[in-house]
Structure 1
Amino acid sequence: MSAEKESDAQSGAVAVTNEARTQANDIFSSRCAVCHGPDGLGNGPGAANLNPKPRNFHDKVWQKAVTDEEIEKAILYGGSAVGKSPLMVPNPDLQSQPAVVAALREHVRQLGAK
């Protein structure tokens, strides 16, 4: 086993495949973008009447403050699970798809890099 794969196995990291990234992009477009917007600015069509407003993933301060684990927990269990808005709905159907959840987290992080 390579040192990189061994490190991933020890840390519980999930290998993210291109298939998982494709699924994550589809999920982001169909579920997340409704509120967070297609570019993650928190300005999706469903955001207009929400209070608090959805997270802007381009916010550098937030990106530095939030952990990968918190992002994944919010994706799976909703905003309430991480002390945020209960309006962020959970995605229990993704609990059996850790690579897709990791790919969604990657996507959120990449939006913050823009």
Structure 2
Amino acid sequence: MSRTLALCFVFVGLTTACGGDKGSDANAAAVAEAEKVWQERCVTCHGADGSGNGPGAAALEVKPRSFKDPTWQSSVDNERIKKVIVEGGASVGLNAAMAPNPDLKDKPAVQEELAKKVRKLAQ
């Protein structure tokens, strides 16, 4: 192995070990923000376990979706889930009581983490 190549490996190793991987920090921030959004906004209607039985659900004429439903899970893709999260239920022909979250429009990583959360609730 040439000396230059060896030095490149050492540099990459040191950069990574010393916090050079900013992608991990960004992902951790997106995961944390998604969890905060879930707890503060979603749990109210969908419930902590995603069954659609949150404390606000009782007051709704149309009950919130249960994310535990395997038929629904297989019928929808992540892009639709993210669209509903950002633009609200009415944007895809669902109930307008599913409020939009326009502050998440420019946060694709947070949207992705919320979609992952919705998927994990079915497991």
Work out whether the TM-score is over 0.5. yes
State whether structure 2 residue 80 is matched by structure 1 residue 77: no
Write the distance in 1 (CA, Å) between the matches of 2:107 and 2:43.
20
Which structure 2 residues correspond to residues 27-106 of structure 1 after superposition, within 5 A? 27-106=37-116
Deviation of 1:37 (Å): 0.5
- 1:9-46 deviations in Å (ceiling 9; x for gaps): xxxxxx98122111101100000000000111100000
Letter aligned with residue 85 of structure 2: I
Give, in whole Å, the separation in 2 of the partners of 1:86 and 1:46.
15
What are structure 2's unaligned runs of at least 5 residues? 1-23
* TM-score of the two chains, using structure 2 as the length reference: 0.77
Give 1:52 deviation, angstroms: 1.1
Distance in structure 2 (CA, Å) of the matches to 1:31 and 1:49? 16
Consecutive unaligned residues in structure 1, runs of 5 or more: 1-14
Task: Kindly state the Cα deviation for residue 82 of structure 1 after the two structures are TM-superposed.
Answer: 1.3
> 1 or 2 for the larger relative contact order (CA 8 Å, sep ≥6)?
1
In structure 2, the residue corresponding to 1:48 is in which secondary structure? helix
Task: Measure, in 2, the Cα distance between the counterparts of 1:25 and 1:63.
Answer: 20
Residues in 1 aligned to 2:61 and 2:77: alpha-carbon distance in whole angstroms: 23
The percent of aligned pairs where both chains have the same amino acid is: 46
Structure 1 or 2, whichever has the larger Rg, is 2
Count of matched residue positions in the alignment of Structure 1 and Structure 2: 99
Q: Report SS of the residue matched to 1:105.
A: helix
Structure 1 Cα separation of the partners of residues 32 and 69 of structure 2: 24
Runs of 4+ in 1 over 4 A off after TM superposition: none
